[in-house]
Structure 1
Amino acid sequence: MKKSIIITTISLFISCVAISQTTSSYKTGTKEITLKEIWNGTFSSERMNALNSMNGDFYSLLNTDKETKLTTVDVYSYKTLEKIKTVVNSQDLKNLDGFSSYSFNNDETKLILGTDFNPVYRHSFTGTFYAYDIASKKLSLIGKEIQEPTFSPDNLKIAYAKDNNLFVKNLATNAITQITKDGKKNHIINGTTDWVYEEEFAFVKAFKWSNDSNFIAFLRFDETTVPTFSMDIVGKENYPTQEVFKYPKAGEKNATVSLHMYTINAGNSKKISLGNYEYIPRIKWSNEDNILIATTLNRHQNDLKLFKVNASRTSSTLLLNEKDNAYVDIHDNLTFLNDHSFIWTSEKDGYNHIYHYSSTGKLINQITKGNWEVTKYYGFNKDKKTIYYQSVENGSVNRGVYSIGLDGKNKQLLSNESGQNSAAFSKNLHYFINTYSSTEIPPIYALYSGEGEMLKVIKDNASLKEKMSEYKMSPKEFSTININGNDLNMWMIKPANFDDNKKYPLLMFQYSGPGSQQVGNRWNGSNDYWHNMLAQTGIIVVCVDGRGTGLKGRDFKKVTQKELGKYEVDDQIAAAKKLAARSYIDNNNIGIWGWSYGGFMSTNCLLKGNDIFTTAIAVAPVTSWRFYDSVYTERYMQTPQENASGYDDNSPINYADKLKGKYLLVHGTGDDNVHVQNTYRMVNALVTANKQFDLAIFPDRTHGIYEGRGTRLNLYTKMTNFIQENLNKNKDKSIEIKG
């Protein structure tokens, strides 16, 4: 419920603040937040461009001059953060006005430049791509309307996908070899993924060059028998068009996926046998030239296997088998060492930790241990025998960056102790850029050494912090609330002029999906500003992360298995009732809202908790897991054929007759993720039950409902008015909600 754009991007979240800032008292001004300010970018923090780590102590950035519109790829030093040189400037390129993506070859002598992108699905795209030789400044066309062009490691060829087939172009001769010929839309896909793999397994490029450039491993998807979904696109013409694509819903036929090995010299492909499986969610070459690692999963996704595939022999042997009573998460945390042993992360001891296995798959040691989760694995420095990772060791609402020896010793905190710290490491792991934020400190970007020494502040967003001091804002108050025997993380936002002798309506916000987290010690997002705006009109806003959410261990997260919407709903209802008992909460005016999974939750809470919730907003909600995709849904629910009660007992469609409060239902008709079918079915159930409700439909908008000027402003204006009219009934009439 979830491009590789041709640039190796490193997400720049990360740390480094003067500790004195973190201890400052919370200050608030007098200006009122407006919806226009939230959605016109007034409160946006300054960010760093996504950077590409290079060989040595260097990184590159894609820069565009605002005045001349010229685009450059520039190289910088990690040590000084100063620009070293410009690799390519769009003004020097004939027949190419500009480019918006780039990637280097292995020895950084050539580039692939991309432009004219058009979306395929939510995360994939086609484009026009060129090869650029840095020394000669020669530019040559690779292809138009192609996907995922990738240099061979020997820099002599480029592989790419086009029209569901896979091709290789020889850079010396410009000869093109077509590897597959059976590709056809909505039938056969070679080298890229189908909709559900792209969305739920989070990758698009389904081919990999071997280290010696002699082989290309690729996946083939036969989606011929997968049911077809269609959406009408209103557009701007007299007649609408229709988007038609294969979408396997829960319990329906998936694409048949197979692994194939293409041999460059022989010019042929062979299918690789991997035994019985439903999915191949990852392929990755090991550090041996002819050994590919293929990951398989059964349909229940609780039996994961790593296979060693010998490309020369096209044979496979089992390397590792991991099982779980619920499901096994898919990740990219697989690193091979010089002795062919490997590093892997797993929840096998109840929390996500880092493990070291031998080349034969025998456990050598568990590297990290404790009742806390490793949240990111950054890499292994072979010279120092040191692993870098992010975890919640200092509390599940925080993130810290750490190093630890391969033997599990000499653990060191490299970042700030509290708040959110995230690292973007250099390729050689000598440096990292840390992004730090907390509820009181906007993002601060700083350069660190691999040993954790803060070298230089890059951006500090001090102007944003100063700006926010002028606005009437309330701090997030973090705490825990004991619900159904569990201490759940919670934050609360009260009006700045809060008086505990008064009573205030309560609005609860949540997402609640498996492994998610909303209660985190981080800087504001758009919803946080909106929640604060609502708080200043006299509403208390609360968020509670109930059972099923993440970063508190396997058992806490997986308790919802086969019952999505049961325990999570129970926790939100129980939390609402417990909060309602507080003297300053108006127990006759309690609302809840959420988006996507959160919309599923808010709808269920209003219906099943109709004795406590009086108002709800559901944006783009799932209303029956029978309508959602196979991979996500069956990971947690198994199939409807196996678990009908789990699907139906927790579907709000089947409880429409319980509606008593005020309900706003919102959806975009162009949502290819959570289809508007969910809302239409909910509407039908409410109509049949003769229940009144409010409905907002946004034509052609996708799951995020953001396309088009003013869309988000319009949506949040509607939600604000709905809350003020139905939840905040006793608000001061002098308060004006400004657009």
Structure 2
Amino acid sequence: MMLPRPFPTPRPALAGLALLLWLPLAPALSQSKQLTVEEAFLNRDLQPQNLKQLSWIPGSKDEVAYLRPAQKGQPDELLRGSATGKDLTPIVSQTTLAAALKAAGATEPKAFPSVQWRDANTMLITSKNQVYSYDLKTGKAARAFGYDAEADNVDFDPTKTRVAYTKGPNLYISLAGRENEALTNLSGDFEATSAANAPFVAGQAAHRSEFGITKGTFWSPSGTKLAFYIINQGDVTSYPLVNLTTTPASIMPIRYPMAGDKSQLVEVAVYDLTTRKLAKLQTKVNDEHYLTNLAWSPDEKSIYLAELNRGQNHMQFNQYTVAGGGFVKTLFEEKDDKYVEPQHPALFVPGHPDQLIWQSQRDGYNHLYLYSTSGQLLRQLTKGPWIVTDVLDFANGGKEFVYVGTADSPLERHVYSVPLNGGTPRKVSQGTGTHVATLSPSGRYVLDNFSSPVTPRTIRTIAVADGKPQRLLLNAPNPVADYQLGETKIVPLKAADGSTDLYARVITPPNFDAKKKYPTVVYLYGGPHVQLVTESWLSGSNLWMQMMAQKGYVVFTIDSRGSGNRGRAFEQATFRQLGTAEMADQLVGVNYLKSLPYVDQTRMGVHGWSFGGFMTTTLMTRAPGTFKAAVGGGPVIDWRMYEVMYTERYMDTPQENPEGYEKANLLKYVSKLQGKLLLIHGTIDDVVVWQHSLDYLKQAVDEGVQLDYFVYPGHPHNVGGKDRAHLYTKITRYFDDNL
């Protein structure tokens, strides 16, 4: 499972930025209010305004819909309109929809419910596990079908007429006339055995959600067939989590495969809803390899899979028949001396079922490749020292492909379109910053959600053909216009290798005085797939960082080598030695801070969570004396105790790389600790298990080293909800008290 971070950030990019970028947020004289921790995390009004339930309407002539909040005594209303028109038309209000649902037997909703579009005139609403359709023409609702109240992992099919779901370790489907039909009957006492600890589970995300896996069920295009994972985790260690809500406390075991130990055995099965027959793909069921990036062929006769060895350095892209599950062929292979990481399923070209697009980092950057189903590479569609970060869909009758990438700058995201015949990509989006986009049903328009360091959010439709804006849907005001914020700048630096470009963000206090000396807090992550410094709202920072600047701190972040969206070499610089290159680059940032006359070198702190917690503790003990105080949350301490899929990609196994694991093991550096260190952990953390920081505490006790410690009972890897304000009050006070 990819190590998460506590502060979600937009997905941006990086390219050549030669000069210092000064990014003032607003005239300081008009701002006076001060942020609080509660406002920073709990006040949604301080986040950029957005449009709720915004989407393209499937089957329409490129129409969009979104929810307009209640106005002038009127209830919430759902609006719709074309991509190019001026006015949007109200189509149903909250009171009208609620009355229709009540008449159909549903519990009357107190607020506008979440809707899904089945087609241009039909919406679906789920209420207490009952699915209702609402006909916009008749204004009437009707019950479509229901599913079990204990259902998890609910997955609608593409036609929105059926769902797959899990209950315990088993998989079920529901549709009109066939509700709560079991597809599996895995052995065991499933009433008493949680799916997290069951020896076999079906329909759930495999491989700890690595390799781009987000779910365990995969509907065919027509919804008449369902592919799904069957996971044998009987040989995976059963790890005890402690439930403190019972008296006495009870055990909540989970299957947790640690690096070097036994891993899951995974299969893919296919169920035909028409014949009610089930078949398994004939993959290597006795091998601890990885099956990912599942894609259906347009005719639903084949399934394509990326199959990766446990060493993660050899991938085969294989085809299987749906009828019987037989192996057909390997279309192509990818190998790397470090690792291969397939993350995206193949996309078939409309009108050309014998052609597909594949994403790969094989040339050092994630790019698009056009293949035939015979396995022939027809052409590489994109190339260059930048990456494709997201794929949208096909346009221009299937002759072009629209994607998001970093060709303009690694700090930005832009929308591009590339001809499938091998032409040059064309930029569609406008405005320096971060564009998050979805493509209209026809492929003619893009719904563009844009932000920049000085633009909270703008949502508009733009034409794919020429990039011209069509309709402005939202121009969000600055939500912190009344607050006194400091100045933010993005700084280009060179990595510790002397040649690689890095980008850092510096936030200085309001009413900044260059003659003063300010304490500094470094916020960091540093791990794979994460980028913190971006050309997005507040330059990727959050309101807690801005609050710390208000309190008189300089707040600093740098994306070191090993972090995301810079290409394969940038990420693989940390291979087999997690913590070393990242630490060297973080120290480059520290040296930059020390060069600033207004930074007090004797009062520097560092904070990070998850991989950032690992890096915080690394810096405090492998570079002792650099920081006066630190707070590390949910830290990995010993990579031997982290999960197989993630750890072995970047470190190989402990048996293959004992020196690397030993060097990264923070238990051996406890005696080096200087300054004040606070470690924080959730007691039911199922990502970085609690034992990591407990072992660190035990080592500190054994060696007579003093440090501070705090736990959040009942919280998993991240501390969420109202307790997040408690967490960051503690972190803030720790720096106030010790810097």
1:231-266 deviations in Å (ceiling 9; x for gaps)? 22323x644344222222222222211122334454
Find the residue that maps to 2:486 and give its secondary structure. Answer: coil
1:288 to 286, 294, 299: 299
Q: 2:133 is matched with which residue?
A: 132
The alpha-carbon distance between structure 1 residues 498 and 211, as it changes in their structure 2 partners (threshold 3 A), is closer
CA distance in 2, matches of 1:69, 1:281: 48
* 426-435 or 552-561, larger mean C-alpha shift: 426-435
Q: 2:278 is matched with which residue?
A: 269
1:479 to 480, 492, 496: 492
1:668 to 656, 676, 682: 682
On the 8 A contact 2:686/2:716 being kept in 1, the answer is yes
1:272-322 deviations in Å (ceiling 9; x for gaps)? 212456121232212123111122221122222222111124222212222
On the 8 A contact 1:188/1:224 being kept in 2, the answer is yes
1:309 to 314, 320, 339: 320
In structure 2, what residue type is equivalent to 1:295? A
On the 8 A contact 2:438/2:447 being kept in 1, the answer is yes
Q: 1:517 is matched with which residue?
A: 531
CA distance in 2, matches of 1:482, 1:144: 53
2:336 is the alignment partner of 1:330: no
Q: 1:320 is matched with which residue?
A: 332
CA distance in 1, matches of 2:42, 2:157: 43
Residue 329 (structure 1) shift: 2.5
1:154-233 correspondence runs (5 A): 158-169=163-174, 171=176, 173-174=177-178, 177-182=181-186, 184=190, 185=195, 186-187=197-198, 189=200, 191-194=202-205, 197=207, 199-201=209-211, 203=213, 205-211=215-221, 215-233=225-243
The alpha-carbon distance between structure 1 residues 387 and 214, as it changes in their structure 2 partners (threshold 3 A), is closer
Q: 1:348 is matched with which residue?
A: 362
Residue 344 (structure 1) shift: 1.4
Q: 1:32 is matched with which residue?
A: 34
The alpha-carbon distance between structure 1 residues 528 and 290, as it changes in their structure 2 partners (threshold 3 A), is same
* 690-699 or 307-316, larger mean C-alpha shift: 307-316
The alpha-carbon distance between structure 1 residues 424 and 627, as it changes in their structure 2 partners (threshold 3 A), is same
Q: 1:121 is matched with which residue?
A: none
Q: 1:456 is matched with which residue?
A: 471
Q: 1:723 is matched with which residue?
A: 735
In structure 1, what residue type is equivalent to 2:264? A
2:605 is the alignment partner of 1:591: yes
Residue 89 (structure 1) shift: 2.2
* 337-346 or 651-660, larger mean C-alpha shift: 337-346
Residue 46 (structure 1) shift: 0.9
1:555 to 569, 579, 588: 569
Residue 406 (structure 1) shift: 1.5
1:317-359 deviations in Å (ceiling 9; x for gaps)? 2122222222223323521123311111111111111111122
State TM-score, norm by structure 1.
0.86
Q: 1:732 is matched with which residue?
A: none
1:530-569 correspondence runs (5 A): 530-569=544-583
Q: 2:83 is matched with which residue?
A: 78
The alpha-carbon distance between structure 1 residues 155 and 34, as it changes in their structure 2 partners (threshold 3 A), is closer
In structure 1, what residue type is equivalent to 2:693? T
Find the residue that maps to 1:341 and give its secondary structure. Answer: strand
The alpha-carbon distance between structure 1 residues 152 and 400, as it changes in their structure 2 partners (threshold 3 A), is closer
Residue 584 (structure 1) shift: 3.2
CA distance in 2, matches of 1:108, 1:397: 37
The alpha-carbon distance between structure 1 residues 63 and 469, as it changes in their structure 2 partners (threshold 3 A), is closer
CA distance in 1, matches of 2:604, 2:179: 67
1:354-503 correspondence runs (5 A): 354-381=368-395, 383=397, 385-451=399-465, 452-464=467-479, 467-468=480-481, 470-485=483-498, 486-503=500-517
On the 8 A contact 1:335/1:380 being kept in 2, the answer is no
CA distance in 2, matches of 1:631, 1:720: 34
On the 8 A contact 1:12/1:424 being kept in 2, the answer is no
In structure 2, what residue type is equivalent to 1:114? T
2:543 to 518, 523, 529: 529
In structure 2, what residue type is equivalent to 1:85? I
**RMSD of the alignment, in Å?**
3.2
The alpha-carbon distance between structure 1 residues 658 and 617, as it changes in their structure 2 partners (threshold 3 A), is same
Residue 511 (structure 1) shift: 0.5
The alpha-carbon distance between structure 1 residues 108 and 250, as it changes in their structure 2 partners (threshold 3 A), is farther
CA distance in 2, matches of 1:330, 1:567: 24
- For structure 2, the 5+ residue unaligned runs are 3-8, 13-21
In structure 2, what residue type is equivalent to 1:192? G
* 441-450 or 237-246, larger mean C-alpha shift: 237-246
In structure 2, what residue type is equivalent to 1:576? V
Q: 1:124 is matched with which residue?
A: none
CA distance in 2, matches of 1:229, 1:69: 53
* 641-650 or 518-527, larger mean C-alpha shift: 518-527
CA distance in 2, matches of 1:602, 1:546: 13
On the 8 A contact 2:608/2:615 being kept in 1, the answer is yes
On the 8 A contact 1:12/1:433 being kept in 2, the answer is no
CA distance in 1, matches of 2:157, 2:40: 45
CA distance in 2, matches of 1:683, 1:722: 18
On the 8 A contact 1:58/1:75 being kept in 2, the answer is yes
CA distance in 2, matches of 1:526, 1:401: 19
| Higher RCO (C-alpha 8 Å, min separation 6) | 2
Residue 203 (structure 1) shift: 4.1
On the 8 A contact 1:91/1:97 being kept in 2, the answer is no
The alpha-carbon distance between structure 1 residues 26 and 138, as it changes in their structure 2 partners (threshold 3 A), is closer
Residue 687 (structure 1) shift: 1.4
2:100 is the alignment partner of 1:92: yes
CA distance in 2, matches of 1:391, 1:132: 38
- For structure 1, the 5+ residue unaligned runs are 3-10, 15-21, 117-127, 728-739
Find the residue that maps to 1:443 and give its secondary structure. Answer: strand
1:30-76 deviations in Å (ceiling 9; x for gaps)? 43333233233152211122434312323455788799999987755
CA distance in 2, matches of 1:310, 1:251: 33
* 482-491 or 151-160, larger mean C-alpha shift: 151-160
Residue 641 (structure 1) shift: 2.3
1:112-135 deviations in Å (ceiling 9; x for gaps)? 54345xxxxxxxxxxx24353747
Q: 1:737 is matched with which residue?
A: none
Q: 2:518 is matched with which residue?
A: 504
On the 8 A contact 2:445/2:462 being kept in 1, the answer is yes
On the 8 A contact 2:682/2:716 being kept in 1, the answer is yes
Find the residue that maps to 1:645 and give its secondary structure. Answer: helix
Q: 1:608 is matched with which residue?
A: 622
State TM-score, norm by structure 2.
0.86
Find the residue that maps to 2:537 and give its secondary structure. Answer: coil
Find the residue that maps to 1:383 and give its secondary structure. Answer: helix
Find the residue that maps to 2:720 and give its secondary structure. Answer: coil
Residue 470 (structure 1) shift: 4.4
The alpha-carbon distance between structure 1 residues 414 and 653, as it changes in their structure 2 partners (threshold 3 A), is same
The alpha-carbon distance between structure 1 residues 23 and 573, as it changes in their structure 2 partners (threshold 3 A), is closer
Find the residue that maps to 1:462 and give its secondary structure. Answer: coil
The alpha-carbon distance between structure 1 residues 154 and 661, as it changes in their structure 2 partners (threshold 3 A), is closer
Residue 526 (structure 1) shift: 9.5
In structure 2, what residue type is equivalent to 1:144? A
In structure 1, what residue type is equivalent to 2:317? L
On the 8 A contact 2:504/2:589 being kept in 1, the answer is no
CA distance in 2, matches of 1:12, 1:723: 27
CA distance in 2, matches of 1:52, 1:477: 33
Residue 405 (structure 1) shift: 1.4
Find the residue that maps to 1:723 and give its secondary structure. Answer: helix
Q: 2:260 is matched with which residue?
A: 251
How many residues align? The count is 693
